[in-house]
Amino acid sequence: MALKTGEKRLIGFALREKMMLNPMAHNPSQTLEQHLVEIIRRRSQWLAENKSALDEYNRRIESRGTFSDGLRRF
């Protein structure tokens, strides 16, 4: 998921007051954005690296079912 530069939307979030006293929290929205971008990048990379294994697992479940198919009562 690539985000286009400059496309921002105002959202609200709450932080503990103690966190705001930390000198590293001088710009919490920028810090949060940087961390979210990194999380999204890592997740996208993990999904790309494991796509074939996930596809194979899904095919196997589709054809054989799960181990508990005969045990569930719902």
Q: What is the mean pLDDT of each run of 10 residues along the chain (74 residues)?
A: 70 80 76 92 98 97 91 79
The H-assigned helical ranges of the chain are 17-20, 28-49, 51-64
Give the model's pLDDT for residue 48: 98
Give the model's pLDDT for residue 3: 57
Give the model's pLDDT for residue 53: 98
pTM of this structure: 0.63
Of 58, 3, 62, 65, nearest to 34 by C-alpha is 3
